[in-house]
Chain A
Amino acid sequence: MRYLPLDADDRRAMLARIGAATIDDLFVDVPPAARLSRPVDLPPHAGEIEVERALSALASRNVPAGAAASFLGAGAYRHFIPAAVDHLIQRGEFLTSYTPYQPEISQGTLQYLFEFQTQVALISGMEIANASLYDGASGAAEAAQMARRVTRRAGVVASGGLHPHWRDTVATGLRWSDAALTTAPADPSGTEDLTKLIGADTACVIVQNPTVFGHLRDLSPLARACQANGTLLVVCVPEVASLGVVEPPGAMGADIFVGEGQGLGPGLNFGGPYLGLFATRERFVRQMPGRIAGQTVDVDGRRGWVLTLSTREQHIRREKATSNICTNSGLCALAFTIHMALLGEEGFRRLARLNHAKACRMADRLGAIKGVSLLSDAFFNEVTVRLPVLAAPVVDALARDKVFAGVPASRLYPGEKEMETLLISCASETTTEDDIERLGAALEGTLR
């Protein structure tokens, strides 16, 4: 067994040093009735060749998004990741290190987390950020809990533009608290007015920008209404690349920013691991969930970093902690930090403009198809169109020709009649003119 360094002589010598006759003498505390006398009914060990063959066979039964003309978004975004990113995160000192609890020998991790926090604060326009959460959806659930702690109120209002997976994750998190969750109806037109749902006991309003249907909205009026009522505004941004060209949540008056950094960090991965971004105002820091890296000095006066403000966390506060989170998305945060470092100010802005330009092209092409109507006029890289037929069968049919036309809204809103003809389509810097033409021609073909 190639990963196990002890050989038979070692095992004998070690048992002798322990004073045990057999390995089972070390398992004496296991009740005899519960001891397995033979290996579990599973295949025996296998070499690298066999394992690679088995997994490659499974992988070959999938169609990677990159092998298709892909217009899939709706909460997971495919961006080009520069080669240096994956190379660097595979350095063993990053990949195989632990949570930086011993700061003297973890300065590499701590410094990049500090850089990550700074990047997240800058792009979101917020004051401070944490060192990551699992993903955006669970971040939104944490934000709802945090707003309730800050305001000591029970009400949570969720926008109809919030991704249904995020909305449902928030609902699960609040299910056994004394919170009252109000969910606005799905808002494919991007015209909802949430101010009328804000009441005296509303802790927070959770919105998404752009919405799950792709609409960009000016949140400043909503922010003012929230502020006047002592309600926190939580702004969710599943497509972090949008922040290169769109006014950030902080500038629109957000109190908490929750983002999904997957697109610029770990990639698609069939849904995980992803990267929860979380930022807020400095005065709320002690109510913020998750780990935080902070700057300090060592005994020689040299600048260094540590995990800090841990009295918020479960290992200190136990049942009174701000969250139960422990492991976060450290390596995904590293990938994001490296990618953002490569992009820099110019690259980040250009990436966003490029995405928007491609989406404008895609929107024009889709809108030009007879019977197809574009629901979005202000958007970033994603739009919703209404088809004259059910969207899901069209998507399935086009997938056979390796065109992933988009996400049928019925996948996110099962059973909702109004959603059945809606298609959510997304472009990115990886989209080519040829891709857009393939999409347009294929759609025209099926709708003819």
Chain B
Amino acid sequence: MSAETPPGAPRAPNAKSGRSAAGPRRPAGAPVAAAEADAGGFTGTVSGNRALAIEEPLLFEQGSRQRCGVDLPDPANFKPRLGGLERKGAIGLPGLSESEVVRHFTRLSQKNYAIDAGLFPLGSCTMKHNPRLNEKMARLPGFADLHPLQPLSTVQGALALMDALAHWLKQLTGMPAIALPPAAGAQGELCGMMVIRAAHDAAGQNARRRVLVPESAHGTNPATAALCGYHVDSIPANARGRVDVAALRAKLGPDVAALMLTNPNTCGLFEPEILDIAAVVHGAGAYFYCDGANFNAIVGKVRPADLGIDVMHFNLHKTFSTPHGGGGPGSGPVALVEALAPFAPLPWVVAGPGGFALREDAVGDAAHTIGRLKAFHGQMGMFVRAYAYMLSHGSDGLRQVAEDAVLSANYLLAALRDTLTPAYDGPCMHECLFDDGGLRAFDVSTLDFAKALIDEGFHPTTIYFPLVVHGAMLVEPTETESKGELDRFIAAVRGLKARLDAGGAERFRTAPHYSPRRRLDETRAARQPVLRWSPPAPREAAE
């Protein structure tokens, strides 16, 4: 994936078992935590708030037309030249003062879990500490306040930074070309696969229309291949969670354009036969695409070029710790071998005698480009953060990042091996995978266990991904957790398992109990979609 892994919400297994995914229902209107009723019969609080957990209505349920959180002058005495296209009627936006707006969003923030608050062991998603220096650097006016179409003489430092970032990525991959534009991992994948398609087309190989993708791949891989006009053919894993090289060999043929492989793979395992894989793929005239979502496991230890990889995207928001921000923005540069470099998307940063320039059109050596994937030059704000992260860690620190990430995952695997059921033997790389074998006897699902972890103050692991393991729990601690925090997580998982052993399964099925909301009715959300606020009916009628 490029980008992220969905820890499973839509595949709640409870629907299959006939139990409501939302757990047992309380009578309509029953107050929260009815069990807390005191001798006088009072339950909960008068307001619905619970100390620091404060209920917050929508913006649209607050404010008024007149209030405003900004003071802008009203332009006087001018004649509009809008060609008669003035907006008619009210827009419907609520007006609030700045104090109300600050309070609204502060209260909303308090309903979120975050890496700043604790361990966030989402496998494949790489939730590591986000250094604040990087935020400060990205906000320097010399980066943040640059217009993308300024004269190039006024942005030489920005182009130099892009060039330097590309240099680091080249050194870390051993690959000679870097395409910076893609906006996120999934767009990096699209970039990489389009480059492959363009290269095959240029070589007269446009009969190659099949792409091989392991069953364990991120969903973005097949979705991306389809966007390039490719048919997706899935290849099975062997009993050790790796690519079955014999099966791969059998699937290869003159119509295969590429293999898309994640390495380390989505089971958290390095593909030990990767050199053979590369050899057979190349032998069949196909390209080897690597989903670099898990590059953080090997950065500074292994160069993808030395594994025979032709194309790999990075997720700067994973390996190089640009913040995930509740779902983006990301950044997905792509490393390319020499043969694929001419097809890289526009624009290119090029060094010349008079300084850096941008190649923005498909002429000269860029005549074979796949074209543009987005407006302008890429996710500059993310480039600054990632470059600050790289400079801070340096060559030695990045290597240490990979080693500590792998060490921490193996530590969790060792410590939880007897508590949960590991899907595969170790050693693992940066994440370890368990199945629900140890839970099923209690009629407790992976989802139930995840929700119980919420009550213990931890973000759940990735659940139900990869799909090749039943009830998967994919655990990625990253290198920025202390041993103390890892030990607390281990103690929580063990303690929960001890509760199951002691007959406490029911409480798992109704978890979480202490979060800002308890289990939400996802079926209702999908069947009766309410995707925006609408004014209450009487007001609407009056308008």
Contact = CB atoms under 8 A, between A and B. Distances in A.
B250 interface: no
Contacts of A329: 328-329
Interface in B208-253: 218-220, 222-229, 232
A244 B85 CA distance: 12
A25 B400 CA distance: 15
A60 B300 contact: no
Interface string B92-116: 1111101001101110111111111
Nearest to B138: A269
Nearest to A23: B403
Contacts of B144: 64, 267-269
Contacts of B130: 95-96
Given A96-B323, A295-B525, A135 B110 contact: no
B205 to A, nearest CB: 14
Contacts of B520: 103-104, 296-298, 304-306
B517 A298 contact: yes
B101 A20 contact: no
B194 A72 contact: no
B374 A354 contact: no
Contact of B397 (A1, A106, A129): A1
A51 B426 CA distance: 37
B18 interface: no
Nearest to B27: A301
Contact of B387 (A55, A304, A411): A55
Interface stretch (B151-159, B281-289, B436-444, B498-506): B151-159
A58, A305, A317: most-surrounded residue (chain B CB, <10 A): A58
A447 interface: no
A117 to B, nearest CB: 5
B41 interface: no
A268 B400 contact: no
A45 B398 CA distance: 9
A175 interface: yes
Given A245-B86, A298-B518, A378-B81, A59 B324 contact: no
Contacts of A67: 141, 145
A111 interface: yes
Interface string B309-326: 000000001000001111
B76 to A, nearest CB: 8
A270 to B, nearest CB: 4
A314 B223 contact: yes
A4 B93 contact: no
Given A17-B414, A98-B327, A306 B9 contact: yes
A323 B184 CA distance: 13
Nearest to B95: A344
Contact of A308 (B301, B392, B403, B529): B529
Interface string A308-352: 111101111111110111111111101000101111111111110
Interface string B460-493: 1000010000000000000111110100000000
A359 to B, nearest CB: 8
A10 B59 CA distance: 48
B147 A76 contact: yes
Interface string A392-408: 00011001100010010
A302 B74 contact: no
Interface in A18-38: 18-20, 23, 25-31, 33-36
A87 to B, nearest CB: 8
Given A104-B516, A301-B30, A13 B229 contact: no
B391 A43 contact: yes
A112 B151 contact: no
Q: Considering residues A42, A177, A304, which has the most beta carbons from chain B within 10 angstroms of its beta carbon?
A: A42
A58 B114 contact: no
Contacts, number: 771
Contacts of A328: 184, 327-329
Nearest to A56: B140
A90 B134 CA distance: 12
B166 interface: no
Contacts of A244: 87, 91
A45 B149 CA distance: 34
Given A19-B414, A302-B32, A330 B327 contact: yes
B350 to A, nearest CB: 15
A197 B407 CA distance: 61
A373 B101 CA distance: 45
Nearest to B9: A101
B59 A115 contact: yes
A216 interface: yes
Contacts of A165: 372, 374-376
Contacts of A19: 414
User: Which interface residue of A109, A128, A245, A407 has the most chain B CB atoms within 10 A?
Assistant: A109
A46 interface: yes
A380 B28 CA distance: 52
A98 B125 contact: yes
Interface in A49-105: 50-52, 54-68, 70, 72, 74-76, 78, 82, 84, 86-105
Contacts of B172: 40, 42
Nearest to A322: B223
A251 interface: yes
A327 B82 contact: no
Contacts of A266: 329, 381
A160 interface: no
A284 to B, nearest CB: 12
A270 B143 contact: yes
A185 interface: no
A118 interface: yes
A63 B150 contact: yes
Contacts of A217: 83, 85
Contact of B374 (A272, A296, A350): A272
B122 interface: yes
Interface stretch (A166-174, A225-233, A435-443): A166-174
A33 to B, nearest CB: 7
Contacts of B536: none
B256 to A, nearest CB: 16
- Interface centre among B31, B269, B374, B407, by most chain A C-beta atoms within 10 angstroms, is B374
B73 A354 contact: yes
B308 to A, nearest CB: 9
A40 B139 contact: no
B357 interface: no
Contacts of B413: 18
A211 B292 CA distance: 39
A14 B483 contact: yes
Contacts of B323: 95-96, 331
Contacts of B19: none
A243 interface: yes
A92 B303 contact: no
A430 B512 CA distance: 49
B378 interface: yes
A257 interface: no
A84 B101 contact: yes
A181 B291 CA distance: 30
A434 interface: no
Given A34-B275, A321-B223, A97 B112 contact: yes
Contacts of B115: 92, 96-97
A360 interface: yes
A114 interface: yes
Contacts of B373: 138, 169, 172
A272 B131 contact: no
A252 to B, nearest CB: 8
A69 to B, nearest CB: 13
Interface stretch (A150-158, A200-208, A285-293): A285-293
Given A3-B392, A92-B117, 4 more contacts: A84-B69, A111-B56, A270-B147, A378-B83
6 nearest A-B pairs in the assembled complex, by CB-CB distance: A378-B83, A59-B142, A271-B376, A331-B325, A61-B157, A92-B116
10 contacts: A30-B302, A41-B171, A51-B392, A63-B155, A129-B532, A246-B85, A247-B88, A270-B380, A327-B4, A360-B80
